[in-house]
Amino acid sequence: MSALTLYGIPNCDTVKRARAWLAAEGAAVAFHDFKKLGVPPALDDWAAELGWQRLLNRQGTTWRKLDVAAQAGAGDAAGALALMRAQPSVIRRPVVAWPDGRYSIGFDPDEFARRLGR
């Protein structure tokens, strides 16, 4: 099985839990840090598979700090994707690219175990 890629920011609690769980399971994981490496071109693929609405984290601190105009500008796919590229912290985390080519958002140990065949 090839490595999976986990996308996020290292200080996010959910990303920390996912990384710790994957390490404990011995999974081969590549970590893509949005803060250091930016948002990958795969953002468009994530939006196509998962939906831009699910990717956009409207509960986070970064979203709440945005002015009303910036929030309103994220009301459609183009605006939301532009905001995610400019402010990676508004992307719900972690995003996982699984070896089978599929994607998921968030951390659910049962879902991770199922996808890893455990």
Residues with catalytic roles? 12
Question: In 35-74, which positions are buried (b, 16+ CB within 10 angstroms) versus exposed (e)?
Answer: eeeebeebbeebbeebebeebbbeebeebeebeeeebeeb
Q: Is 92 helix (H, G, I), strand (E, B) or coil?
A: coil
Structural contact between residues 15 and 94, judged by C-beta atoms closer than 8 angstroms: yes
